[in-house]
Amino acid sequence: MNRIIIRDAGETMDIARDATLHQRILNELESQIVSGAWPPGHRLPFEVDLAKQYGCSRMTVNKVMTQLAKAGLIERRKKSGSFVTQPQAQSAVLEIHDIKTEVASLKLAYSYALLATTEREADIEDRRRLDLEKPGPVLEVRCMHLAAGDPFCLEERLINLEVVPDARHADFSNVAPGPWLLERAPWTAAQHQIQAVGADRETAKLLKLKPETACLVIERRTWNTFGPVTHVRFTYPGTRHRVVADFQPSSSQPR
Amino acid sequence: MNRIIIRDAGETMDIARDATLHQRILNELESQIVSGAWPPGHRLPFEVDLAKQYGCSRMTVNKVMTQLAKAGLIERRKKSGSFVTQPQAQSAVLEIHDIKTEVASLKLAYSYALLATTEREADIEDRRRLDLEKPGPVLEVRCMHLAAGDPFCLEERLINLEVVPDARHADFSNVAPGPWLLERAPWTAAQHQIQAVGADRETAKLLKLKPETACLVIERRTWNTFGPVTHVRFTYPGTRHRVVADFQPSSSQPR
DNA sequence: CCAGAAAACATGTATATACATAATAATTGC
DNA sequence: GCAATTATTATGTATATACATGTTTTCTGG
């Protein structure tokens, strides 16, 4: 698991400046994928072509591709070439979200309800949540995810309209903001926070719990190259939910 | 983050059997490190020597070493050689534990108190917790971690005495079982589970909370090559604690 | 004896090359 | 016309080689 998040433009450029060729190729390919310029299923240029493009040998490109494949960003097929993999970064960290899938895996009927959307200038609290340095327009979305008709999870989300202006005119009454954002603004870095809190009156009412019931709160902030994208807080009734993460130290073959 | 845990001996051997030379070297070096045969600080053989030993070129060994370094298992210094890194796998997943360090980072005085140890034959519940297939002797340890004299975290641990027989005679009144185990039985795979629960009467009393207060419960199971090592449940007063995980999708430079 | 230069050393990165392997495309034989 | 064979293509793994880059050790000269 990585720990370093590079957000500062200056630093990013520093890294690019005196990077090795290997790093440079890696960065450029990765950003094509992660930005969505090369969507899932897209075939990357062949190794020999990339080698020609960068003026290096195939071995150098090959090593980069091997690394990308190991990281799960691309899939390689002999004779055919290398392809961007389907499941975007999402879901790799802590294997949750999208919630629809989570509910489906429990073999329950999924439904979704929009509670409210509010557009406003970011206040102090919004800026803290989104990691915004300056004020700017944000969109707040509150919605519920339901399983078999019962409350499953409360979602409270802030979207940075400076990075995702289209969200202003999006219709979240039928599609949840998570999937919507994933299509339009894939993220390159994320930070998760998990805590246990007692449900406040309003949350308890929405989730049909007694006040003070223990809830699992998962918060996620995401960034792309243009800045903070969104901050989301999922509140789950604690007793019914778990976050699971398997782990092997290494180096050894993933997937 | 990896998701595949290899515990089954048969499968492990399958992998070793028709592995490439690269994989074989990787596995063997890794097991030396992870088993503790090469403790932190130990200098690995030089690349040229390993190349000679495996009858391959330095490049092949070099690639393996690069991978180990990227995974954080070794640290490489020019001219000096490559060394096993200090912080064993632990702490890489979700950056918590050891708790002593966690408390120290809050600039609070750390202390530790043993509550009870019990040796018994594993019952159904123990076997579920430890992922044991057959019954066998286990050691249960209950203890508390304190920060500035206040309860910080309750630890409830099961140790598989078949894999760690020495634990039977260990003295946990001054050293916590976590650090003790880490020295003697480093793990190769782990599984984490996080949930929010309301404190039961006993837990509440120990942590000096009102019953039903939301608590963050982190459970971890660990295995080494001989089987399940330990299952531990940490209960933190929820409001004061968070699990944080940063993330970048790739392939890009860690550390 | 010790500071500073030079040599030796181990790793870091990249190249060119070779052959293996798997999948597709083209060719052949009937 | 179609199955079976062969050729082509792209990746997979490994080798030998070269030079760069920091460290440490050794060798100087004062």
Alpha carbon distance A79, A41 (integer Å): 16
Q: Residue A186 is encoded by which pair of tokens?
A: 């894939």
Nearest to B244 by CA among A157, A190, A84: A190
Q: Give yes or no for CB of A7 within 7 Å of strand D.
A: no
* E strand map for chain B: 74-77, 81-84, 110-121, 137-147, 150-160, 189-198, 214-224, 227-237, 243-247
pLDDT along chain B (255 residues), means of 10: 26 44 84 78 90 89 87 83 67 52 76 96 95 93 92 94 94 90 73 85 94 89 84 84 57 40
pLDDT one-digit tens code per residue, A174-211: 999 988 887 777 676 777 777 889 999 999 999 999 99
Of the residues A44, A251, A255, the best mutation for testing chain B's interface (the one with the most B CB atoms within 10 Å of its CB) is A251
Helix axes B21-35, B9-17, angle to 10 degrees: 140
CB contact under 8 A, B191 and A246: yes
Nearest to B81 by CA among B30, B32, B43, B39: B43
Instruction: Report CA Rg, chain B.
Output: 20
Which residues have C-beta within 8 Å of that of residue B99, sequence separation ≥ 6? B110, B145, B152, B153, B155, B176, B178, B234
Residue A129 has pLDDT above 90, yes or no: yes
Is A1 in a helix, a strand, or coil? coil
Q: What is the pLDDT of residue B139?
A: 97
CB A95 within 8 A of CB A218: no
Alpha carbon distance A102, A105 (integer Å): 5
Whole-complex ipTM: 0.59
Helix axes B47-54, B58-70, angle to 10 degrees: 120
Alpha carbon distance A217, A237 (integer Å): 9
Question: Residue A240 — pLDDT band, cuts 50, 70, 90?
Answer: low
CA–chain centroid gap for A19, Å, is 26
- Which bases along strand C come within 7 Å of a protein CB atom? 8-17, 21-24
Residue among B73, B196, B246 minimizing CB distance to A5? B246
> Which chain B residues have a beta carbon less than 8 Å from that of A34?
249-250
Q: Residue B207 is encoded by which pair of tokens?
A: 């942590």
Residue among A68, A238, A251 minimizing CB distance to B68? A251
Give the gap in angstroms from C-alpha B196 to the nearest C-alpha of chain A: 5
Tally Cβ neighbours within 10 Å of residue B129.
22
**B49 nearest nt, CA–C1':** C10
CB contact under 8 A, B245 and A73: no
> Hey, where are the domains in chain A?
9-84, 99-240
Question: Residue A173 — pLDDT band, cuts 50, 70, 90?
Answer: very high
Q: What is the pLDDT of residue A210?
A: 92
Q: What is the pLDDT of residue B23?
A: 83
Which residue's entry shows tokens 């000679």?
B52
Give the gap in angstroms from C-alpha A116 to the nearest C-alpha of chain B: 27
Please give the backbone phi and psi of residue B185, each rounded to the nearest 5 degrees, phi first: -140, 70
Alpha carbon distance A133, A205 (integer Å): 34
Alpha carbon distance A39, A6 (integer Å): 23
CB A218 within 8 A of CB A238: no
Which residues have C-beta within 8 Å of that of residue B243, sequence separation ≥ 6? A192, A193, A194, A195, B94, B96, B194, B216, B218
Average pLDDT over residues A60-78: 87
User: CA-to-C1' distance for A14 and C11, Å?
Assistant: 24
Residue A93 has pLDDT above 50, yes or no: no
Give the gap in angstroms from C-alpha B43 to the nearest C-alpha of chain A: 18
Question: Residue A11 — pLDDT band, cuts 50, 70, 90?
Answer: very low
Of A247 and A128, the one with more pLDDT:
A128
> Which chain B residues have a beta carbon less than 8 Å from that of A225?
none
Return the half-sphere exposure (C-beta side, CA atoms, 13 A cut-off) of residue A210. Answer: 7
CB contact under 8 A, B239 and A67: no
Of the residues B194, B212, B213, B215, the best mutation for testing chain A's interface (the one with the most A CB atoms within 10 Å of its CB) is B194
Average pLDDT over residues A152-172: 94
CB contact under 8 A, B195 and A238: yes
> Which chain B residues have a beta carbon less than 8 Å from that of A200?
none
Cis previous bond, B31, omega within 30 = no
- DSSP symbols for A122-141: --HHHHHHHT-SS--EEEEE
Which residues have C-beta within 8 Å of that of residue A73, sequence separation ≥ 6? A30, A33, A34, A84, A85, B249, B250, B251
Architecture of domain B9-84: Orthogonal Bundle (1.10)
Alpha carbon distance B227, B130 (integer Å): 10
Question: Residue A84 — pLDDT band, cuts 50, 70, 90?
Answer: confident
Alpha carbon distance B50, B75 (integer Å): 17
Q: What is the pLDDT of residue A21?
A: 87
Average pLDDT over residues A71-94: 70
Q: What is the pLDDT of residue A241?
A: 65
Q: What is the pLDDT of residue A7?
A: 24
Domain A99-240 has CATH 1.10.357.10: no
* E strand map for chain A: 74-77, 81-84, 110-121, 137-147, 150-160, 189-198, 214-224, 227-237, 243-247
From first CA to last CA, the distance across chain A in angstroms is 15
- HEC assignment per residue over B149-207: CEEEEEEEEEEECCCCHHHHHCCCCCCCHHHHHHHHCCCCEEEEEEEEEECCHHHHHHH
> Which chain B residues have a beta carbon less than 8 Å from that of A212?
198, 212-214
A65: nearest CA in chain B?
B251
Residue A5 has pLDDT above 90, yes or no: no
